[in-house]
Every structure is written in C-alpha cells, then in structure tokens.
C-alpha cells in the first residue's frame, strides 16, 4: 500500500472534498477523519478549533499519511498557520487558498461569500481576495445554521430551503456574479443554493479546486501515487446517521467506518 | 437596591426562565447573562460547558447576586454539581430538578423528553424521574438543531416547523401523555410543538416551575426581596439580533443590554 492522504473536517462537510479527490486523483488512497463529536466547528473559538485540528493531524500522521488536507473552512481559517508551524515536515493544504486563487484571477464582478461565523469573523476570504485583486467588490454573510442542519441530515427539506431563503434573501447580494461556498458542508445543498439565486450567479465548486491543487502539490513534492487502485478509510469521533449516509452516497455501501476518539 | 438574582444561559433560551421569574416574583431584580459567543452549549463537551458556567457564575457573583439560576438544561445537566461544590455559600438552582419533581409526582402515563445532545447523553432526566417514580415509562430524543435555530431567530418559520416534524414524527412518541421541553430555548417554539402533538399531549411549562421553586428557595433562605419595583440588566458575551429581539419581546424596548466577555 502506498501512503494515504489525510483529510479532516468537523463532520460530513469534508466528504465533498474527499469525493472530489477520488474523482480528480483516482490513484490516491485516503484516510478521512470526521470530528462529529465536536461538530459543528463554526461556532467554536479559534483556540478550540486549533486544538482539535492538532489532535486530528497527529492521529492522521500516526497512520502514515503523506499529506494533510484541512477539508473544513473554519479550521482552514483559524488553524492552518498553527498546523504548518507545528508540522513543518508535512505537506498541509487548506480549502481556502485554491478557491481564492481561482476567484481572484478568473471571475469578474461582485463576489459573495457565505460561511460559518468562525470563518466570516476571521475575514480571511476578503483579506486574501483583496490581496490578489484590490478592486474586487466582496460581500459576505455568516449562515451558521446551514452546517448543523446538513450535519443533522436535513438536506433537500423545508428546513434547508427555509434557511437558505432566510439567509440569502438580502439586498447585499443584489447584482452578485459569483458565490463562494465558504464551508465544505455547503456543496451538499449546492443545488438548492443555485436554485435560489438562479443561473445568473455562478456558484464556485471548491472541492474540485482543492483536489486539483492537491494533485499539483503532490506532484511538486514527488508524493504522487502510481497505483491505480485506491483505498479509503473513514474515522469518526462519534457515529452519526448523517455521516454514514453521506459517506455511502459518495463511496458506496461497503465503506470502512471506525469510531475513534481524539 | 436590593441584591439581584443571577440568571444565565448560552443565549436566548434562559429568557423564558427570566420572564417567568418576572411574572411569578415581580419584586425580584435580576442580572441575566447570555453566553451568545459560545452558544449553543448543547453540542459542547461537559468540560467546556462547566468552564463557561464557572466563569459566568464568578461574574454574576462579582455583581453582588444573591442566588444563581442555571437557566440552561445542558449546563444544569453537566455543570450543576461542580458549581454547587465550588460556590458552597451560594444558593444555586438548576432547571431540571423542579421539572422532574413536578412530572414524577403529578403526571401519569408515558413521558417524553426532548433536549440537546449534551442533556440527552447525560441521561439526567431519565435517572432523576426513575429515582422518584421507578415505574414511569420514559422516552427521549436529542433534537440538536432546535436550539441553534431559535438562537438564529428562526421561530415560527418553515425551518422550525420542518425541524419539529423531522424530529418528533417518530413512533417512540406514540401514546405520549406528557412532553418535557428539556431545553430552555424550546418554550419559544412551544406553540408549534403543542400544535404538532395536539391537545392529547401536555407540554410541561418548565420556566414557571423553576420560578416557583426559586421563590420557595429564596423564602427558605431569607433572601426574598420586599421591594415592589424590580430592575433587570442583561449582559451578552456577543450582541446578536435574536437576543435583542427576544429580550425586548419579554421585557420591553427600554432594556439595559451590555456586551461583556467572560
């Protein structure tokens, strides 16, 4: 077995990134850690999120992972620099930079960001977008109920549709051309969000951008896996119905799912 | 000014208890602390909830409070005994015991409890109810999205109605005669819950039971306030729209609301 990639999130959200990695890099194996016991991260303090992220990274490295993907925007926003500092030998990717690079160079017009409270309060998307493109018009909104409702499995219900309407029916989004889903959970309700805005707004597919960046980074570091068969393992700090069902939807019925406290 | 009562919760939920105290004990002043920065408590660990509860209690005691009401079920479930131990000179009430005493002695038939994950996982309601009435049939369900959706101000919307339906449309609640709202946020959607179950299920009004127990305890400890005019102060660890609007609904437009980190 070649060395796997380590991927983590507070829960089901990062599975959207894992699914994109499977699609874009079919030869790469991975170990996924969903910290369902502590989900959602989005309303926790930077210190708490950083502590959990460190513990999970240690666990993934103990499993011989060759690279770490922080598949959670809240952890990417507040814990990335600490992880890079504490694990200087390890290739670590966050989910924010690939999206910022793409949006700042490719898109035109007004950009919106929706994310958890932790991510929005960090201001990280605005800061990085404006660094690359100082003239960009950027608006953002915290949509803190979306991640927990996805974590509870309430996608494609009155609940998700009602919450999308309550949060996004806001004049600040008038004239929007691009929407960044600044939380890896949100692609699970991407169709509903796209439906709310209609075709005039382009919703950015972050998981695919992250998977492509990962492929490039692995190649640069001579870490690409020549294998053609990949192996996927899933660890959860607490088993939940939503996690099992989303993981099976993306990776099939026979997935290998283990409970593991951190 | 006579000494006030200290009341705290993770956010808006405890305002239902504060409102009942105002109604039942109109001569008593209080200081309310809503830990909106860390809300919801229901998905946090027992250690974290206990740490926040201790810090808030210290703050309330520094404001000369004569008694503390833990107006949050998650904190009552996991932090009450620590607070009693750490502050042995202080009268401390939780929101669970008054409800358990009432339900175990007064009601007949099957009892249901809905609450946050922290409260349900503690098993405290079942344990205490069965101690007082070992033959009682008790069922419970964690309904973790309800508190955050109330904290977001989404009462009386498709979102709250959808979530109630998703959680409560469960055969384990068949034949229920009494429902305990095991989270102080839930009285804010009590009408919607009552409407879901219909008149055959009696939903217990916990805030009023807590207020009556407080009146009795203050009298026993010679702490009752002879005043007829009361003063209410509100502290928030982070200002939120939902908090201001619920606080104004219960206590009028002219409320005294201060941001205070703990």
Q: How many domains in chain A?
A: 2
Average pLDDT over residues A50-58: 97
Give the global pTM: 0.87
Q: Is A99 left (phi over 0), alpha (psi -120 to 50) or beta?
A: alpha
Same structural domain, A79 and A153: no
Q: Tell me if A148 and B145 make a contact (CB, 8 A cut-off).
A: yes
Which of B45, B162, B165, B189 to mutate to probe the A interface, most A CBs <10 Å? B162
Share of chain A above pLDDT 90, in %: 82
Same structural domain, A76 and A31: yes
B154 interaction partners in chain A (CB closer than 8 Å): 145, 162-163, 166
Q: Are B88 and B102 in contact (CB under 8 A)?
A: no
Which CATH number fits the domain that encloses residue A83? 3.40.50.1860
| pLDDT score for B39 | 84
| Chain A: closest CA distance from residue B115 (Å) | 15
Token digits of residue A148 = 């927990």
> pLDDT by residue (tens digit) across B43-52?
788 888 999 9
Question: pLDDT category, A42, cuts 50, 70, 90?
Answer: confident
Burial B87-116 (b: 16+ CB within 10 A, else e): eeebbbbbbbbbbbebbbeebeebbbbbbb
| pLDDT score for B27 | 93
Q: Of all helices (H) and strands (E), which one includes residue A126?
A: helix A124-132
Same structural domain, A194 and A146: yes
> pLDDT by residue (tens digit) across A162-173?
999 999 999 999
Report which of B256, B210, B222 is spatially closest to residue B2, judged by C-alpha positions.
B222
Burial B180-210 (b: 16+ CB within 10 A, else e): bbbbbbbbbbbebbeebbeeebbbbbbbbbb
| pLDDT score for A179 | 97
**Alpha helix (H) ranges present in B91-203?**
97-106, 117-122, 124-132, 146-151, 158-168, 190-197
Closest CB from B45, B144, B166 relative to A159: B166
Q: Cis link prior to A158 (omega < 30° from 0)?
A: no
Q: Tell me if A145 and B144 make a contact (CB, 8 A cut-off).
A: no
Beta bridge partners of A30: A5, A232
Same structural domain, A235 and A200: no
pLDDT for residue A43 is more than 80: no
Same structural domain, B170 and B217: no
> pLDDT by residue (tens digit) across A98-126?
999 999 998 889 999 999 988 998 999 99
Instruction: Tell me the C-alpha to C-alpha distance, in Å, between residue A21 and each of A18, A36, A208, A259.
Output: 5, 21, 7, 23
| pLDDT score for A57 | 98
Q: How far apart are alpha carbons A153 and B151 in whole angstroms?
A: 20
Same structural domain, B104 and B126: yes
Same structural domain, B89 and B186: no
Mean pLDDT of chain B: 94
For residue B20, how many other CB atoms are within 10 A of its CB? Answer: 23
Q: Is A64 left (phi over 0), alpha (psi -120 to 50) or beta?
A: left
| pLDDT score for A1 | 53
Same structural domain, B172 and B182: yes
Same structural domain, B183 and B57: no
Calculate ∠ Cα B34-B37-B39, nearest 5°: 70
Question: pLDDT category, A229, cuts 50, 70, 90?
Answer: confident
Number of residues that make up chain A:
262
Closest CB from B38, B144, B161 relative to A148: B144
| pLDDT score for B1 | 53
| pLDDT score for A228 | 78
Q: Tell me if A159 and B144 make a contact (CB, 8 A cut-off).
A: no
Strand pairing category for B176-181 and A176-181: unpaired
- Is residue B65 annotated as part of the catalytic site, yes or no? no
> pLDDT by residue (tens digit) across B109-149?
999 999 998 899 899 999 999 999 999 999 999 999 999 99
Report which of A122, A70, A152, A165 is spatially closest to residue B148, judged by C-alpha positions.
A152
Same structural domain, B70 and B150: no
Average pLDDT over residues B181-197: 96
Domain of A254 in residue numbering reads as: 5-94+208-259
For residue B71, how many other CB atoms are within 10 A of its CB? Answer: 30
| pLDDT score for B131 | 96
Which of B38, B43, B74 to mutate to probe the A interface, most A CBs <10 Å? B43
Same structural domain, B85 and B161: no
Regarding predicted confidence, which is higher, A9 or B227?
Answer: A9
- Is residue A65 annotated as part of the catalytic site, yes or no? no
Same structural domain, B202 and B80: no
């Amino acid at each position: 077995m070649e060395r796997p990639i380590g991927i983590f999130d507070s829960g089901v959200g990062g599975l959207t990134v894992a699914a994109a990695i499977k699609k874009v890099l079919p030869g790469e194996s991975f170990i996924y850690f969903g910290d369902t016991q502590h989900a959602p991260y989005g309303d926790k303090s930077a210190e708490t999120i950083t502590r959990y992220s460190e513990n999970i990274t240690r666990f993934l490295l103990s499993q011989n992972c060759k690279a770490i993907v922080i598949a959670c925007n809240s952890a990417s926003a507040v814990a990335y620099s600490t992880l890079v500092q504490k694990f200087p030998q390890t290739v670590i990717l966050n989910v924010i930079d690939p999206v910022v690079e793409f949006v700042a160079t490719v898109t035109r017009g007004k950009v919106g960001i929706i994310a958890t409270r932790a991510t929005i309060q960090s201001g990280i998307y605005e800061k990085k977008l404006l660094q690359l493109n100082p003239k960009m018009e950027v608006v953002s909104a915290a949509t803190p109920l979306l991640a927990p409702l996805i974590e509870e499995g309430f996608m494609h219900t009155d609940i998700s549709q009602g919450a999308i309407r309550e949060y996004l029916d806001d004049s600040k989004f008038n004239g929007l051309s691009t929407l960044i889903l600044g939380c890896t959970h949100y692609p699970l309700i991407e169709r509903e969000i796209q439906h709310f805005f209609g075709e005039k707004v382009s919703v950015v597919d972050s998981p695919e951008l992250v998977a492509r960046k990962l492929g490039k980074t692995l190649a640069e570091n001579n870490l690409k896996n020549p294998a053609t068969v990949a192996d996927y393992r899933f660890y959860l700090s607490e088993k939940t119905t939503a996690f099992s069902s989303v993981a099976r939807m993306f990776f099939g019925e026979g997935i290998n799912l283990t409970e593991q406290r951190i």
